[in-house]
Amino acid sequence: AQTIHQWPVAEIKAVGSPLSLGCTIKGKSSPNLYWYWQATGGTLQQLFYSITVGQVESVVQLNLSASRPKDDQFILSTEKLLLSHSGFYLCAWSLLLSGNTLYFGEGSRLIVV
Amino acid sequence: AQSVTQPDARVTVSEGASLQLRCKYSSSVTPYLFWYVQYPRQGLQLLLKYYSGDPVVQGVNGFEAEFSKSNSSFHLRKASVHWSDSAVYFCAVSMWDSNYQLIWGSGTKLIIKP
């Protein structure tokens, strides 16, 4: 069975500090991977997606970057956090079959102070 | 351009009552259609999906949705809600001409009254 794990579960970080959020998918070869951001209030915003190792497409950057160093790993990062980065970050995987059904991780909550 | 509208930001229903959450989409072709649920402080979980066949599709936990091509709608229903159904529900669509990138509705928060 496929599992998706996000880390950390939650963080409180200072404005201007760096950030790294991670996501690992087990049990599925060469998945498409996604990062979403969810502000308080719930609207989902797709940030990045990747269909293969080393390739990441940006949808909305929000002064963030993403990398896919391994087939099963997706990293979201920034060198300098802004207050506006606060929110809930969701990683998801899919296969293009079946219309690109997404399967989400449990999310990482970020509070920037 | 494709779009998804969930016209109700909040829906309040009494426990045991029936439920309908509305979703309308804009597309020139029939897309893949999805309903997801998000419980507090959790990720999203797939409830059901539809592309073709019987317009009424069954999902998990007693949920079903009905596709209407004429109305461009994909409404979610449940015959009898339980307090544990309290969550935010998202409708989404994907289409081949957008490389199957999902387009999301704004979500409907379901509140269950005891």
pLDDT of A45 strictly over 80: yes
Q: What is the pLDDT of residues B54-78, one digit of tens each?
A: 999 999 999 999 999 999 999 999 9
Q: Which pLDDT band, with edges at 50, 70 and 90, does B44 fall under? A: very high
Over range A73-97, report the average pLDDT.
93
**Cα angle: B85, vertex B89, B94; to 5 degrees:** 145
- The proportion of chain A whose per-residue pLDDT surpasses 70, expressed as a percent, equals 96
Please judge whether A102 and B46 are an interchain contact, meaning their C-beta atoms are less than 8 angstroms apart. yes
Q: How far is CA A33 from CA A14, A16, A54, B95, B107, in A?
A: 28, 27, 12, 18, 22
Q: Which pLDDT band, with edges at 50, 70 and 90, does B28 fall under? A: confident
Q: Which two tokens stand for residue A28?
A: 């599925």
> CA-nearest residue of chain A to B49?
A101
Please identify among residues 53-112 of chain A the ones whose CB lies closer than 8 Å to any CB of chain B. Answer: 59, 90, 92, 96, 98-107, 109
Q: Residue B94: what pLDDT?
A: 85
Over range A24-52, report the average pLDDT.
89
Q: Residue A99: what pLDDT?
A: 66
Cβ contacts of B30 on chain A, cutoff 8 Å: none
| CB-CB contact of A82 with A54 (8 Å) | no
Q: Which two tokens stand for residue B84?
A: 């544990």
Nearest-CA distance from A18 to chain B in Å?
A: 24
pLDDT of A60 strictly over 90: no
Q: What is the CATH number of domain A3-112?
A: 2.60.40.10
Q: Which residue has the tokens 């015959």?
A: B79
Q: Which pLDDT band, with edges at 50, 70 and 90, does B29 fall under? A: confident
Q: Residue B95: what pLDDT?
A: 75
Cβ contacts of B74 on chain A, cutoff 8 Å: none
CA A104, CA B8: separation in Å to the nearest integer? 24
- Interface A–B counts its CB contacts (< 8 A) at 57
Q: What is the pLDDT of residues B72-114, one digit of tens each?
A: 999 999 999 999 999 999 999 987 666 667 889 999 999 999 8
Q: Residue A28: what pLDDT?
A: 82
Q: What is the CATH number of the domain that holds B15?
A: 2.60.40.10
- Nearest CB to A100 within list B36, B90, B100: B100
Q: Residue B47 is part of which domain span?
A: 3-113
Q: Residue B24: what pLDDT?
A: 97
Domain count, chain B: 1
Q: Which pLDDT band, with edges at 50, 70 and 90, does A11 fall under? A: very high
| More confident site: A100 or A109 | A109
Please identify among residues 3-32 of chain B the ones whose CB lies closer than 8 Å to any CB of chain A. Answer: 31-32
Q: How many C-beta atoms surround the C-beta of residue A84 within 10 A?
A: 11
CA A110, CA A19: separation in Å to the nearest integer? 10
Q: Residue B61: what pLDDT?
A: 94
* B52 interfacial to chain A (CB closer than 8 Å): no
| CB-CB contact of A95 with A32 (8 Å) | yes
Cβ contacts of A42 on chain B, cutoff 8 Å: 38, 88, 106-107, 109
Over range A85-110, report the average pLDDT.
88
* B41 interfacial to chain A (CB closer than 8 Å): yes
